[in-house]
Structure 1
């Protein structure tokens, strides 16, 4: 995968996150924190999980310890604080990917999974993972919109490519 495609995917991710966080913020008060039938409890918990995984993989890419013992946030953050952190994280990943040489992107990094066990992925695979992981969990959040009831934003890659992406 070229740096061009990694950065395009990361720009897509940032765009989709912006739409999602904006739509969640526009919901009636308490809707993001309302208990839902989902693994992370609610919309905010799901978005928090995505951020935690981003933070974990950032640490792997930087060769440092992340300090997490769970894939959940230790203490819940308010939506606006989480959004500020997510934007900074998205910016970091984009800058990181833009600076990678092809050899660096292909370099494999060893790490330990939170649940135990050894992991090994290339840097580009890790970046692809955080993009794909966020897309997966935005789908959970979109499904929860219908429980509000509300219509979620369209955050599909083809919509991004049609409306936003530049070559």
Structure 2
């Protein structure tokens, strides 16, 4: 499998997993959505906003344009409906980036500045891998929060996406 196909598959999985998670998150009350449950970003609201903020930050670095959040813990969308719509749009953007990136770029280096202004250079493919891994990590935290509310949480394992996508 070439790099582009690999990352397109990860982008489709990412969109699938986020939709599954959002379908369940839509069942919580606004109070539950905002309740600080002791997660790394406090609440379901904080966790889902963090994922979106980091995606936007990395995609701005990759594309050189687009929204660029000023912090990793800011609330980009206060209510769930707005966040869900933004999540859908960002997942489509991520899929577009994966599918339209020239093949040679996957072997290149991405130079960027951290939120503190420090200059870094990392292999582009590894940065893109980080974007997907970061979402998986924090989606797991959101998944736990949903379970704490007594909701039936979805199975989000990559293999189930592959089986469903055949």
TM-score by length of 2: 0.89
**Residue in 1 that maps onto 2:7:** 6
**Residue in 2 that maps onto 1:84:** 85
By how many angstroms is 1:70 displaced? 1.5
Maintained 8 Å contact 1:55/1:66: yes
Question: What is the number of equivalent residue pairs in this alignment?
Answer: 165
**Residue in 1 that maps onto 2:137:** 136
**Residue in 1 that maps onto 2:163:** 162
Which digits, 9 at most, give the CA deviation of each residue in 1:68-96, with x for residues without a partner? 33202255421111111111111111111
Once residues 50 and 75 of structure 1 are traced to their aligned partners in structure 2, the CA distance between those partners, rounded to angstroms, is 10
- Higher mean alpha-carbon deviation, 30-39 vs 63-72, is at 63-72
Once residues 156 and 96 of structure 1 are traced to their aligned partners in structure 2, the CA distance between those partners, rounded to angstroms, is 23
Maintained 8 Å contact 1:107/1:123: yes
Aligned in 2, Cα 1:83/1:65: closer, same or farther, shift over 3 Å? closer
Once residues 56 and 122 of structure 1 are traced to their aligned partners in structure 2, the CA distance between those partners, rounded to angstroms, is 17
Which digits, 9 at most, give the CA deviation of each residue in 1:5-49, with x for residues without a partner? 100000000000000011000124422211111121101110100
Maintained 8 Å contact 1:45/1:76: no
Maintained 8 Å contact 2:24/2:146: no
Cα-Cα RMSD = 1.9
SS of equivalent residue, structure 1 residue 30: helix
1:56 and 2:48 aligned: no
Structure 2 residue ranges without an equivalent (≥5): none
- Higher mean alpha-carbon deviation, 1-10 vs 47-56, is at 1-10
**Residue in 2 that maps onto 1:96:** 97
Alignment of 1:95-114 (within 5 A): 95-114=96-115
SS of equivalent residue, structure 1 residue 146: helix
By how many angstroms is 1:2 displaced? 1.4
Structure 1 residue ranges without an equivalent (≥5): none
